[in-house]
Amino acid sequence: MNYPNMVDARKRGKEEVKYIYENRNYNEVFKGKKYFIKTFGCQMNVYDSSRMANMLEEMGLKKAAVLKDADVVVFNTCHIREKAAEKVFSDLGRAYLVKLERAAEGRDTIIGVTGCVVQAEDKEILKRAPYVDFALGPLRYFRLREVVESVFRERERGKGTGQECSDAGQRHLNAGPACSGKSREGQQNAAYVRLNDAQEQIETGKIEKERKRTGLLDTEFSAVSKFDLLPENKSEGGCSYLAIQEGCNNFCTYCVVPYTRGVEVSRPVEDVLREARRLAATGSVELNLLGQNVNSYHGEDASGRERNLAYLLNRVAEIDGIKRIRYTTSYPADVDDDLIRCHKELDKLMPYLHLPIQSGSDAVLKKMNRRHTRDEYLRVVEKLKEANPAIGMSSDFIVGFPGETEEDFQQTLDVVNRVQYVQAFSFKYSRRPGTPAAVMDGQVDEKVKKERLQVLQDLLFSYQTKFNKNSIGKVMPVLFESKGRHKGQLVGRTPYMQNLHAEADGSLLNKIVEVRVTDASTNSLSGEVL
């Protein structure tokens, strides 16, 4: 059998790659093997992880309940905030210890990193985690099957020869099964020796050069859409994510997304509808349309005419079986009248919208390179509430952006009081390497950022709690998505994305059920099934 050549793979056209993937027999290699994926970040990352799971299962791997049972471990990463990026490296360290333990038992483990951290910090990964076997940027994970098979094949060729413990195997830095005759302590020592050797190689650039040569570190933007080369999306429950757009053209000064995911690309209308119909046919009753800037969608229809998000929402609403529709994340400046009309006329479109403002100060918004002012944002919110008085708003906030004054911060609090968000996400500003804001003057003291964040969150939580408490006694349609912590309990979401738990039969899982809300807290509701 001819195995994948990582260099030649770069030269293949879309149809050729599709043919290769659709006609490969992976069972002989991956029979009995398991995978584990941990996801960091936004719903787009959740979607990407689900597609990677599709690919690994297509190869014959089964999902592992815990990391230590996995033969392939993938960390799908987010780089939007420093804390998220550092969490990745922390988890990688723990995965490496598991890798050593499994090696002592004669079991091999492949560790991979995907997502935005790869695109932004590929050199840092090689430096801090040289035991990582492969890394793929967010637009390159369609090559996951090829890369995973390549690593496995190389390991198989080295078994029994000791080669995976030699220089040839150092590219993967693995204490593999061929070393299993050594004690556990000896295995760990051997692995750490190789790790030290790897550090020396990194300093001379050898590993980085080799990985780029082989394709095991792949951060380049794809010449073709990743969506064209992914296997069919499969429904995993009543709610499914469906990516309709990738990348961003806004270049907010605090954000790495345009640098890690590239410019905006919208999927053709028919491609989206085809995937939506497949998901509906396999059990999805709710679709969440995803994009970094989802309401900038401009996909072409069958005639080549460019269409907006409102058009797409109306077409998705026509699909039998789809009972709920959401979209995220929206950009205020791209909310047009067509989209507002959808919130008035489309019954399937949920009365909940996540519309990030980031700051209530025009001065800060300008420094952030946001394409809207405070008043423009509030006018959009007003129009949405006029179109649908029942709509609940959610948002993102960043406190402590460079140059933010106390007056700027008070303006943010004023916006919160005006809109009265039903949910929100709030964070301290995090300096991200390579972004304009990271080198701006007027960096705010950490203590001040912490204090402001606490004040903001207290206010946001007060409105969230009030909204939840006002839900008591109401009857809401709830989509039950998972089992609860207690026996006989299911957990689901209301139209307003509130978590609700209730005593319910397991047969109601992945179904929309009428529930009366009986109690509420800041973060969840309790209810009884009618």
Q: pLDDT, tens digit, for every residue of 218-252?
A: 555 554 456 665 666 666 679 999 999 888 888 89
* Percent of the chain clearing pLDDT 70 (strictly above): 79
The mean per-residue pLDDT over the stretch 43-67 comes to: 88
pLDDT at 7 over 60: no
Q: Residue 309 in contact with residue 325, Cβ under 8 Å?
A: no
Confidence category of residue 40, pLDDT binned at 50, 70, 90 = confident
**What six digits make up the tokens of 239?**
């709610």
The mean per-residue pLDDT over the stretch 507-515 comes to: 96
| Averaged pLDDT of the chain | 82
User: Which residue type sits at 305?
Assistant: R
- Report the C-alpha gap between 388 and 281 in whole angstroms: 30
Query: Which 8-state DSSP code applies to residue 360?
Result: S
Q: Which range has the top average pLDDT, 209-213, 255-259, 304-308?
A: 304-308
Q: What is the pLDDT of residue 352?
A: 97
pLDDT at 217 over 90: no
Domains of the chain by range and CATH? Answer: 6-218 (3.40.50.12160), 232-350 (3.30.750.210), 360-470 (3.30.750.200), 475-529 (2.40.50.140)
pTM: 0.76
SS3 string of 301-314?
Answer: CCCCCECCHHHHHH
Strands 475-483 and 512-520: what pairing? antiparallel
- Report the C-alpha gap between 409 and 299 in whole angstroms: 38
- Report the C-alpha gap between 335 and 351 in whole angstroms: 15
pLDDT at 12 over 60: no
- Report the C-alpha gap between 269 and 148 in whole angstroms: 32
Side-chain-side CA neighbours of 102 within 13 Å: the count stands at 20
Q: pLDDT, tens digit, for every residue of 273-309?
A: 999 999 999 999 999 999 989 999 999 999 999 999 9
Q: pLDDT, tens digit, for every residue of 383-430?
A: 999 999 999 999 999 999 999 999 999 999 999 999 999 999 999 998
Confidence category of residue 175, pLDDT binned at 50, 70, 90 = very low
Say which residue, 13 or 407, is predicted with more confidence.
407
- Report the C-alpha gap between 149 and 128 in whole angstroms: 25
Burial class, 282, CB count within 10 angstroms (exposed 0-12 / middle 13-18 / buried 19+): middle
* Percent helix, strand and coil across the chain, each to the nearest 5: 45, 20, 35
Q: Residue 516 in contact with residue 475, Cβ under 8 Å?
A: yes
pLDDT at 524 over 70: yes
Neighbours of 59 (CB within 10 A): 23
Q: What is the pLDDT of residue 285?
A: 96
Q: What is the pLDDT of residue 232?
A: 66
Q: What is the pLDDT of residue 221?
A: 55
- Report the C-alpha gap between 110 and 171 in whole angstroms: 12
Q: pLDDT, tens digit, for every residue of 371-394?
A: 999 999 999 999 999 999 999 999
pLDDT at 30 over 50: yes
